[in-house]
Structure 1
Amino acid sequence: MIKKFILIISLFLSFSSSAQEGYKLKKVDFKGNNQIKSSELENVTSLEAKNVFDKLQFWKKSPTYQEELAVKDLENLHKIYQSQGYINVKIKDSLVVDEKKMSVRVYFIIRENSPTRIKSFVWEIEKSDSFEEKNILKILPKQKLAKTNDIFTDKAIYNLMERTQNSLKNQGYVYAQTKAIFKIDTINKTVDVKLKVSQGDKYVNGKISFEGLKQVSEKLLSKRINLKQGDVFSAEKLNEAQSRAFNMQLFKYITISPEKDSTQTHIIDYKVKLEELNKWDLNLGLGYGTEDRVRAQILLTKRAFLGGIRQLNLGIKTSYFEPINTYLKFRQPNIFADKVDFIWNPYYSKERERSYNVERLGANFTLEKKLNKKASTFLTYNIESSDVTKTIESSDSNSEITEGVNKKSGLIWGYQYRNVDNYFSPTSGWYAQSLTSYNGLGVKTEHPYFKLLLDGRTYQPLWRRWVFAGRLRMGYIASTNNTTLTPIEDRFLLGGGNSIRGYQRNSISANTDKNSETVGGNSMLEMSVEARFPIYNALEGVLLGDAGNVWAKSGQYRLNDLKYGFGIGLRYNTPIGPLRMDVAAPVWDTFKMQLYITFGHAF
Structure 2
Amino acid sequence: VEPTYNLSRLGLRAAIGRNFTDFISLTFSYRDERNRLSNIQIDTSLTTNIADIRSLKMIWVRDSRDNLFDPHEGTLFEWNNEIAGGYLQGANSFFRSDIKYSWFLPILKKSVLGGAIEIAWLNAFNGMNTISLNERLYAGGPNSIRGFGYQMVSPLDELGNPIGGGLRFVWNIAEWRFPVYKFLDGGVFLDAGNVWQSPESFKISDVQFAPGVGIRINSPLGLARLDVGWDPSATVPGKAFQIWFSMGYSF
Pairwise same-fold verdict (TM > 0.5): yes
What are the equivalent positions in structure 2 for 1:219-368 lying under 5 Å apart? 352-368=1-17
Q: Deviations over 1:192-231 (max 9, x none)?
A: xxxxxxxxxxxxxxxxxxxxxxxxxxxxxxxxxxxxxxxx
Q: 2:138 aligns with which of 483, 493, 500?
A: 493
Residue aligning to 1:510: 155
Deviation, structure 1 residue 398: 6.8
Query: Are 2:236 and 1:588 aligned?
Result: no
Q: 2:89 aligns with which of 431, 434, 444?
A: 444
Deviation, structure 1 residue 502: 1.7
Which structure's relative contact order is higher, taking Cα pairs within 8 Å and 6+ residues apart?
2
Q: Aligned equivalents of 1:378 and 1:491: distance in 2? A: 23
Deviation, structure 1 residue 592: 2.4
In structure 2, the gaps of 5 or more residues are: none
Q: Does the 8 Å CA contact 2:193/2:208 hold for their aligned counterparts?
A: yes
Pick closer, same or farther for the CA change 1:562–1:379 going to 2, 3 Å.
same
The secondary structure found in structure 2 opposite 1:560 is: helix
The secondary structure found in structure 2 opposite 1:364 is: strand
Deviation, structure 1 residue 585: 1.3
Residue aligning to 2:167: 523
Residue aligning to 2:190: 545
Query: Are 2:47 and 1:401 aligned?
Result: yes
Q: Aligned equivalents of 1:523 and 1:460: distance in 2? A: 29
Query: Are 2:70 and 1:422 aligned?
Result: no
Q: Aligned equivalents of 2:52 and 2:247: distance in 1? A: 35
Query: Are 2:118 and 1:473 aligned?
Result: yes
Q: Does the 8 Å CA contact 1:415/1:435 hold for their aligned counterparts?
A: yes
Q: TM-score w.r.t. structure 2 length?
A: 0.89
Residue aligning to 2:177: 532
Deviation, structure 1 residue 397: 4.8
Give the letter for the 1:401 counterpart.
Answer: T
Q: Deviations over 1:225-246 (max 9, x none)?
A: xxxxxxxxxxxxxxxxxxxxxx
Q: Aligned equivalents of 1:494 and 1:456: distance in 2? A: 16
Deviation, structure 1 residue 560: 0.9
Deviation, structure 1 residue 556: 4.2
What are the equivalent positions in structure 2 for 1:562-581 lying under 5 Å apart? 562-581=207-226
Q: Deviations over 1:404-426 (max 9, x none)?
A: x2432221101122211222211
Residue aligning to 1:382: 31
The secondary structure found in structure 2 opposite 1:497 is: coil
Tell me which protein shows more strand as a share of its residues. 2
Deviation, structure 1 residue 555: 5.4
Deviation, structure 1 residue 371: 2.0
Give the letter for the 1:362 counterpart.
Answer: G
The secondary structure found in structure 1 opposite 2:52 is: strand
Give the letter for the 1:421 counterpart.
Answer: D
Give the letter for the 2:211 counterpart.
Answer: F
Deviation, structure 1 residue 530: 0.5
Q: Aligned equivalents of 2:110 and 2:155: distance in 1? A: 39
Q: TM-score w.r.t. structure 1 length?
A: 0.39
Pick closer, same or farther for the CA change 1:539–1:519 going to 2, 3 Å.
same
Deviation, structure 1 residue 390: 2.9
Please provide the CA RMSD for this pair. Answer: 2.1
Give the letter for the 1:595 counterpart.
Answer: I
Deviation, structure 1 residue 361: 2.0
What are the equivalent positions in structure 2 for 1:107-122 lying under 5 Å apart? none
Q: Aligned equivalents of 2:103 and 2:171: distance in 1? A: 12
Q: Does the 8 Å CA contact 1:508/1:549 hold for their aligned counterparts?
A: yes
Q: Aligned equivalents of 1:574 and 1:588: distance in 2? A: 35
Give the letter for the 1:553 counterpart.
Answer: S
Tell me which protein shows more helix as a share of its residues. 1
The secondary structure found in structure 1 opposite 2:205 is: helix
Q: Deviations over 1:504-562 (max 9, x none)?
A: 2112221176x333211110000112011222223221111111111111454322101
Give the letter for the 2:164 counterpart.
Answer: G
Q: Does the 8 Å CA contact 1:425/1:577 hold for their aligned counterparts?
A: no
Q: Aligned equivalents of 1:397 and 1:414: distance in 2? A: 34
Q: Aligned equivalents of 1:484 and 1:594: distance in 2? A: 29
Number of aligned residue pairs: 246
Deviation, structure 1 residue 575: 4.8
Deviation, structure 1 residue 372: 2.6
Deviation, structure 1 residue 378: 1.0
Residue aligning to 1:434: 79
Residue aligning to 1:254: none
Q: Does the 8 Å CA contact 1:476/1:555 hold for their aligned counterparts?
A: no
Give the letter for the 1:596 counterpart.
Answer: W
Q: Aligned equivalents of 1:386 and 1:495: distance in 2? A: 23
Pick closer, same or farther for the CA change 1:555–1:470 going to 2, 3 Å.
farther
Q: Does the 8 Å CA contact 2:30/2:56 hold for their aligned counterparts?
A: yes
Q: Does the 8 Å CA contact 2:157/2:163 hold for their aligned counterparts?
A: no
Q: Aligned equivalents of 1:575 and 1:374: distance in 2? A: 28
Q: Does the 8 Å CA contact 2:97/2:122 hold for their aligned counterparts?
A: yes
Q: Aligned equivalents of 1:550 and 1:369: distance in 2? A: 33
Q: Deviations over 1:392-442 (max 9, x none)?
A: xx2x55751322x24322211011222112222111111111110111244
Q: Percent identity?
A: 25
Deviation, structure 1 residue 484: 4.3
Q: Aligned equivalents of 2:72 and 2:88: distance in 1? A: 45
Q: Aligned equivalents of 1:447 and 1:533: distance in 2? A: 44
Q: Aligned equivalents of 1:576 and 1:372: distance in 2? A: 30
What are the equivalent positions in structure 2 for 1:102-141 lying under 5 Å apart? none
